[in-house]
Amino acid sequence: MLEEVERWLTERSWSVADRPLHRLLAAKRATGQTVSVVLPALNEEATVGEIVSVIRHDLVHQAPLVDEVVVVDSGSTDRTAEEAAAAGASVVHRDAILPRIPAVPGKGEVLWRSLLVTRGDIVAFVDADLREFSSDFVTGIVGPLLTEPGVHLVKAMYDRPLTVSDGPASGTAAAGQGGRVTELMARPLLNLHWPQLAGFVQPLGGEYAARRPLLERLPFPVGYGVELGMLVDALHLVGLDALAQVDVGVRKHRHQDGQALGRMAAAIYRTAQLRLARAHMIRPSLTQFERTDHSFEPRTYSVDTEERPPMTEIPEYRARRVA
């Protein structure tokens, strides 16, 4: 297995510099493929507009690589939708997509519904909380899909510095220390149960692209388990050599606190658990503790377990393909 991973790392791990923009534009013209970029967003007014502006300036106006930029608002209470629209994105509220199926909170829910409001042959997902955003994130993950017919899903890889917010080093960034759930939960799970996927540097990263026919066939965990679930399911559907990763540099974003990361880890573990044993299990919960004036107060959260079916099973989606 180690030899297979090392071979894959040699053959399917690239840098964004390996495919200059002019080469991608030539491949796009030759193949006639279209590209959609989707930003799932929840209360990201501080960053979403800049991300949309950079993509549209670099990859719509200056170079016609991206055909549409769609922000799917997951119920924001701030000006996320207004900022995205002002920057030129098409903005759709999660609840307006497939209204006959009531929406539930969660990132995976938004990504799943986005397939109904995009048209691209290639769909790229980009998180909406990135700072100092570069369009390399998009060209990096889209590039192999335009130039390598055998590649079906591409993950971005990058450094994830963790910004220190307390103490004398406040405001500094600890290189490579971001992605705590990746190192403590996802990487051990993948190495133990799906060792073919051990070569992915950022298995939980929110920047990745895939061919629509693959996305149509994947179930989508509604919450934080979506990235791990998608990677594992894609491995079984199309095989390791159809998966790739591209180094796009450094990813800076808003970090969550330890308790939020605990809830994320629980959802990711549950996603893995479901894929290891598709048996009936009770709905799990996670109890955490918060300090009050005199003691620790328990807080219990349900763990995301719901998954949306492959989009090809949805009548509205099948009807749209025929139209």
Q: Which range marks the domain in which residue 260 is found? A: 2-322
Average of per-residue pLDDT across 37-65: 98
∠ CA(198), CA(199), CA(201), 5° rounding?
A: 105
Nearest CA to 108 out of 273, 221, 265 is that of 221
The one-letter code for the residue type at 94 is: R
Residue 166 gets which letter from DSSP?
Answer: S
Question: What total number of domains does the chain contain?
Answer: 1
Average of per-residue pLDDT across 54-69: 98
**Is the per-residue pLDDT at 78 higher than 70?**
yes
Q: How far apart are CA 117 and CA 188, in angstroms?
A: 35
Q: What are phi and psi of 67, to 5 degrees?
A: -90, -25
Q: Which residue has the higher pLDDT, 86 or 191?
A: 86
DSSP string of 227-295, one letter each residue: HHHHHHHHHHHH-GGGEEEEEEEE-EEPPPPHHHHHHHHHHHHHHHHHHH--S--PPPEEEEEEE-SSS
Nearest CA to 133 out of 44, 48, 210 is that of 48
pTM, to two decimals: 0.87
Amino acid 173: pLDDT: 46
Average of per-residue pLDDT across 129-138: 96
Q: How far apart are CA 269 and CA 255, in angstroms?
A: 20
Least confident of 167-181, 199-213, 233-247, 289-303: 167-181
Query: Binning pLDDT at 50, 70 and 90, where does residue 301 land?
Result: confident
CATH number at residue 177: 3.90.550.10
**Is the per-residue pLDDT at 295 higher than 80?**
no
Least confident of 94-103, 218-227, 299-308: 299-308
Burial class (CB in 10 A: 0-12, 13-18, 19+), 192: exposed
Amino acid 277: pLDDT: 75
List the 243-250 sheet strands across, edge first: 13-15, 243-250, 153-159, 208-211, 122-125, 35-41, 68-73, 90-93
Amino acid 255: pLDDT: 64
Q: How far apart are CA 95 and CA 109, in angstroms?
A: 10
Average of per-residue pLDDT across 281-287: 64
Model pLDDT for residues 252-270, shown as the tens digit of each residue? 867 678 888 888 899 999 9
Contact 144, 231 (CB under 8 A): no
Element (H, E) at 210: strand 208-211
Tabulate helix, strand, coil % of the chain (nearest 5).
45, 20, 35
